[in-house]
């Protein structure tokens, strides 16, 4: 297996809490990570019908088999078991007794917050980031092939063609997971909605337009977006505003968390198609946002990502605030540097100054080229150095 950055935080929380839950999308590597991190703990998959039936019909007897603790995989299959885990850890508060995994953030988080409040540390595991992917052999060394394949580990670990694996993943997600999270009656319409969302990656969310195109109401579109976000298909990046200017646009941006999945839904069947695709820039932007999101989540942090746009033209693709540092990130898919890459940074600095905010600005441009440089107004980072975005100037040299 490859080394996952979340392992350090997982071990840390297991010294504080009697229960640690790791949630995330299916096939992100949760089971592999937890079993490798706690090799001495018994492992129980609640996907298995016999274990699932045992846990449902006799939860006390089931947990009695694992008095010293266990890795309980896919806990969303038996959510009622969490209440009995609470009783167990209230009697024996030894840190790190139970490690839970769950693939549906929507249901798992709700159950944990109700039953294990104060007793459980919660972490999210997403598909590997670019640095983690390097642990696999055969990772593409070309930008658009990498983006087209996406980052789900089974594609690399088992050498499954990306197109085939993603087709199976989408079918399983729509047919199984969506039904379990919410009662979606018309799966064909939901599939159309999912594809329409892929066509809007890196764009501001307009629920009325999205619902109209999919043939559903505004409220249904809103609910379905929540399903996609709860199951880690998309992430909505809110607009950044501190009452700097009245004409700021406050709609969130929609980003797919895996660009391979977005490419599949857009019927981009080869990397060569992506290079010439009208959404190339948007997909590249979503890839960078996803890398930032993973970087923070896998450190156990809550991602504080925003975008900024004024109705009169000023835009900034991503703003990441960490303490008193505001990382302003522009994303350009072009391989050749142009002067307009750096145009917005001076204006953002003016807005920050006018609002009397005590923030240190770190300006970054991530582009599709090969050379990273320190420019007078910003750090210019090759796509290969995407993992350095949140590092300061001193540590990025």
pLDDT tens-digit map of 229-255: 988 899 999 998 766 555 577 899 999
**What pTM was estimated for this model as a whole?**
0.92
pLDDT interval class at 395 (50, 70, 90): very low
The angle at the Cα of 108, spanning 95 to 49, to the nearest 5 degrees, equals 95
As a whole number of angstroms, the distance between CA 287 and CA 107 comes to: 27
Q: Which residue has the higher pLDDT, 1 or 80?
A: 80
Q: What is the pLDDT of residue 396?
A: 39
Q: What is the pLDDT of residue 394?
A: 44
Compute the average pLDDT of residues 116-129.
Answer: 91
Compute the average pLDDT of residues 270-294.
Answer: 97
In this model, does residue 99 exceed pLDDT 80?
yes
φ and ψ at residue 20, rounded to 5 degrees: -125, 130
φ and ψ at residue 359, rounded to 5 degrees: -125, 140
Asked if the domains at 6-124 and 305-396 fall in one CATH topology, the answer is: no
Q: What is the pLDDT of residue 167?
A: 94
DSSP label at residue 174? I
Is the distance from CB of 371 to CB of 339 less than 8 angstroms?
A: no
Structure tokens belonging to residue 164? 């085939």
With a CB cutoff of 8 Å and minimum separation 6, the contacts of 187 are: 174, 175, 178, 179
With a CB cutoff of 8 Å and minimum separation 6, the contacts of 103 are: 23, 24, 25, 26, 30, 74, 76, 177, 231
Q: What is the pLDDT of residues 157-190, one digit of tens each?
A: 999 999 999 999 998 887 777 776 666 667 888 8
Compute the average pLDDT of residues 295-316.
Answer: 91
pLDDT interval class at 107 (50, 70, 90): low
| CATH pick for 305-396 out of 3.50.50, 3.30.70, 2.40.160, 2.40.128 | 3.30.70
DSSP label at residue 252? P
Compute the average pLDDT of residues 100-107.
Answer: 74
Domain topology for 6-124: Rossmann fold (3.40.50)
Region of 200 (left: φ > 0; alpha: ψ -120 to 50; beta: rest) is alpha
Q: What is the pLDDT of residue 157?
A: 93
The angle at the Cα of 122, spanning 77 to 41, to the nearest 5 degrees, equals 65
Residue 248, beta-bridge partner list: 310
Cβ neighbour number for residue 171 with a 10 Å cutoff = 11
Residue-averaged pLDDT of the chain = 91
Q: What is the pLDDT of residues 178-222, one digit of tens each?
A: 776 666 667 888 899 999 999 999 999 999 999 999 999 999 999
Q: What is the pLDDT of residue 149?
A: 97
Is the distance from CB of 202 to CB of 285 less than 8 angstroms?
A: yes
Q: What is the pLDDT of residue 397?
A: 38
Q: What is the pLDDT of residues 7-45, one digit of tens each?
A: 999 999 999 999 999 999 889 999 999 999 999 999 999
In this model, does residue 261 exceed pLDDT 70?
yes
Please state which architecture CATH assigns to domain 130-284: Orthogonal Bundle (1.10)
For the chain, the domains span 6-124, 130-284, 305-396
């Amino acid at each position: 297996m490859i080394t996952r950055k979340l392992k350090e935080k997982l071990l840390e929380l297991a010294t504080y809490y009697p229960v640690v839950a790791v949630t995330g999308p299916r096939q992100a590597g949760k089971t592999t990570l937890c079993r490798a991190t706690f090799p001495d703990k018994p492992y129980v998959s609640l996907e298995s019908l016999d274990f699932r039936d045992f846990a449902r019909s006799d939860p006390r007897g089931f947990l009695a088999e694992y008095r010293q603790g266990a890795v309980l995989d896919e806990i969303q299959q038996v959510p009622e078991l969490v209440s009995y885990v609470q009783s167990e850890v209230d009697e024996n508060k030894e840190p790190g007794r139970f490690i839970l995994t769950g693939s549906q953030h929507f249901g798992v988080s709700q159950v944990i917050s109700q039953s294990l409040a104060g007793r459980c540390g919660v972490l999210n595991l997403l598909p590997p980031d670019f640095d983690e992917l390097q642990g696999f052999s055969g990772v593409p060394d070309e930008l658009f092939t990498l983006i087209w394949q996406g980052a789900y580990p089974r594609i690399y670990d088992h050498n499954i063609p990306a197109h085939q694996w993603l087709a199976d993943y989408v079918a399983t997600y729509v047919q199984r997971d969506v039904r379990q999270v919410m009662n979606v009656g018309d799966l064909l319409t939901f599939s159309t909605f999912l594809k329409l969302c892929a066509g809007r990656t890196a764009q501001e969310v307009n629920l009325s337009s999205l619902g109209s195109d999919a043939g559903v109401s505004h409220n249904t579109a809103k609910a379905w977006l929540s399903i996609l976000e709860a199951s880690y298909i998309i992430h909505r990046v809110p607009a950044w505003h501190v009452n700097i200017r009245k004409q700021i646009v406050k709609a969130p941006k929609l980003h797919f968390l895996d660009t391979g999945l977005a490419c599949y839904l857009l019927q981009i069947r080869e990397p060569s198609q992506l290079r010439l695709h009208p959404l190339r820039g948007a997909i590249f932007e979503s890839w960078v946002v996803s890398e930032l999101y993973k970087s923070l989540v896998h450190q156990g942090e809550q991602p504080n990502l925003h975008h900024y746009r004024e109705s009169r033209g000023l835009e900034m693709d991503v703003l990441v605030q960490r303490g008193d540092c505001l990382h302003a990130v522009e994303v350009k898919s072009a391989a050749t540097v142009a002067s307009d890459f750096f145009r917005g940074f001076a204006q953002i600095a003016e807005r920050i100054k006018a609002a009397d905010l005590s923030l240190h600005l770190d300006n970054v441009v991530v582009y599709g080229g090969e050379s990273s440089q320190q420019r007078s107004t910003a750090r210019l980072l090759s796509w290969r150095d995407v993992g350095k975005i949140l590092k300061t100037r001193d540590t990025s040299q």
